[in-house]
Amino acid sequence: MTDGEEREIRGRDETGREAGSAEGRRRRKRIWRRVRRTLYVLAGLAVLGPVVAFVITYFLVSVPDPNALAASENQPVTLYYADGSMLYARSGPASHQLVTWDQIPQTMKNAQMAAEDETFMTNSGFDLKAIARTVWNRLTGGTGGGSTIGQEYVKNATGNDSPTLRRKFVEMVESYKMTRTYSKEDILTAYLNTVYFGRSAYGVQAAAHAYFDEDVSKLTTEQSALLAGLVQLPGQANNEAYQHKRFTYVMGRLLANHWITQAEHDSAQFPTPVPDGANGGSSLSDRQFIVSQVFAELAQHGYNEEQLTTSGAKIYTTIRPDAQADAEASVGRIMAADKEYPDEGSALVSADPVTGEILAYYGGDGSTTYDLATTPQQPGSSFKPYVLAAGLRADPQNIGLDTVYDGSDNQVIAGQTVHNSDGEGSPHITVKDAMTESVNTVFYRMGAQVGVEAVRQAAWDAGIPRQITPALGVPFDSLQNDDPATGRGTGTTELGISIGQYPVRPLDQAQGYATFASGGQYVPLHLVSRVTGADGGQLYGFTTPPRPAFDSDPATNAAIAGTVTESLSDVASSSGDGLAGDRPVAAKTGTAQLGNTGHNSEAWMVGYTPQIVTAVWFGNKKQPAAIYGNYHNGKGREHGYDVYGREEPGYIWQAFMDAYLNGKPVTQFPEVSLITGMAPSTTQPPPPTSDTLEPTSDLPSPTSEPPSSSWQRPPFSWPHWPTPPTCLPDCPTSVSPTSTSRHRPVHG
């Protein structure tokens, strides 16, 4: 190739590259031009799309009519016994009356705005900042409000509360349309006429009667503040702690918005509502707690009281009228002997252990606003069956009915001196006899052997809830110390759990013992069998199947439960609480001492036959105080004696069980391979581990002074108690928990 030819070819290549480069630039420009146009279109749609959607939705939606809404809400909720007879009917036409703007006092209007929508009189039916906050919460997996009063009215009218952005958008448009159709006065009046306040009270007039037995026009500022606050969570309307919290909040917002003066705020007194049911519906007296617990149970399954009321629900409970009557009669007969002690009370929960159906439920005589059956108390020695279950599961070769322990009094275990009640016990005693005699040193040592985490887990597996909801206060993490700053469980459990340091509810004890009674099968105790709507369609039905509690192997699971049952088989007869007809029964007592006073503060009897399980608690209804009895005392004076588990609670349990089982066949517990524990336990305590109670320098000595006499249950936050008293009848007065929050000291 000549030099000329090479230059010609090179020139053509350079020209081609130049041409290609120019074409590439033109191509890239065309692409970016298309991208920019697309972005412009998308940006326009982002701006105009919501506007167009808003306009279209605006013309499609209709504004809810308050009269039609009031009519749809005006449906009664009816509760039925297990046999189909009526237990309770709530609400009705007379309870829902529409009132005018002029009939509603300004203080009620201000209170509702303070509670829910402070800018109501000036906003356009929605709050963009609040909506943006709600959208962010939804996108990040959280929840949030952001609704104005107009939006809340729309939600109530449509009954649509689904947590979707589409529902929120339509609700916003409807609320905006309301502000263009009606005046603010009309909207607020419609809202106050239809909003749910709890106690089956729709509308402010019904609420004024339900809570204060007053006409709406006579509501005070304090009463208005409480009612307005209850709208947030009407299902908690009878919870005193919640009432006080919301009252305080609304009064604070009234002050912040200058709707009341500082002097009015500072002088305000909490307006105590009248008892629920006093001004409408059936008068329940001591059965009011059944109704409350039914609604609480359904709320756990996603059916709140407002939804049930608007659907005209028919709720079929598991309560048997004959069993409920037997429970009330048994409590009434024994408690009548103690009428000179009016602050003493009792709770009883009884259930079929196989089906989980609660047959009788007694939360008190109606003299308290809180339910004693859901008020946590320390179980004392009635907690020992869970310790044994933990031992049987963890070390069946060495822990069983025939295992011999040193059960002598005044032993040092894990660094603590442990006492037995009245110095009882023996240097050589079997587990079976130790359970019958309630020997603390045996079960304290057993808890140290297997570790507190194993004891706690066995109790949880039996059915003690991991989080307990008290009748008053807020839920707390069970069977562990809690952080005073947060109220949450720390995960740390002390060895005092072995003799009942941590509080549980009577309902929980019925649940746990039901698992033992059913051969180790856990079935949730429940009050509701099914719910239907006004049209007869089923809304809810209990369908939870049983599950093995202690081991996946059926034989092992049954052996653990059956061995616990056998360990409890002599307790009732030895305490004088055996059943008529020589029925086989498994039971355990428990008693708590009031500090070092030598008197008791509460007592338990929990037990079962194959057909029925019953938990009974007895104590002071208002505060930890000495409990005395006059019914019968097999050991000592007959009048004003200190009540132990074998007495008042034992007599109530015995009377109820005999009455319920009268005429029913005597049924034996199923035969299982009992765990006997072949190797005897050492008499020396194991070295402390992370699962056992470490020696602590600030624990009280055997001669330590009792807690301050100023110790009281604080109102509205029970059971958050200060430093607890020590225990008496079956547990060491020298052993008390280092934690001072939520629970009192160990019991027996």
Catalytic residue of the set 116, 344, 602, 648: 116
Distance from the Cα of residue 140 to its chain's centroid: 28
CA distances from residue 612 to 341, 547, 567, 661 in whole angstroms, order as listed: 31, 19, 18, 9
Which element (helix H / strand E) includes 35? helix 3-60
H or E, element range at 619: strand 613-620
Tokens coding 103: 């009939």
- Identify whether 381 is a catalytic site residue: yes
- Distance, in Å, from the CA atom of 700 to the CA atom of 37, rounded to the nearest integer, reads 80
Q: List the catalytic residue out of 95, 292, 330, 381.
A: 381
C-alpha distances in Å from residue 726, one per residue of 219, 297, 718, 743: 47, 34, 18, 11
Residue 238 CB contacts under 8 Å (≥ 6 apart), including other chains: 198, 199, 276, 292, 369
First to last CA, the chain: 113
Q: What single-letter DSSP state applies at residue 274? A: P
Secondary element (H or E) of residue 590 = strand 586-593
Strands (E) in 421-524, as ranges, are: 429-430, 467-468, 476-477, 521-522
| HEC sequence for 364-389 | CCCCCCCCHHHCCECCHHHHHHHHHH
d(CA 734, CA 727): 9
Peptide bond into 719 cis (omega under 30): yes
DSSP run (H or E) holding 418: strand 416-418
Distance of alpha carbon 321 from alpha carbon 315, whole angstroms: 15
DSSP string for residues in 325-365: HHHHHHHHHHHHTTTTSTTEEEEEEEE-TTT-BEEEEE--S
- Count the neighbouring beta carbons within 10 Å of the beta carbon of residue 671: 8
Instruction: Please give, one letter per residue, the 3-state secondary structure of 710-745.
Output: CCCCCCCCCCCCCCCCCCCCCCCCCCCCCCCCCCCC
Q: Bridge partners of 606?
A: 588, 615
Q: Please tell me the distance from the alpha carbon of residue 726 to that of residue 701, in angstroms, as a whole number.
A: 11
CA distances from 327 to 319, 321, 336, 339, 382 (A): 11, 10, 14, 18, 21
Strands 528-532 and 467-468 turn out to be unpaired
Helix (H) or strand (E) holding 315: strand 314-317
What are the catalytic residues?
A: 116, 381
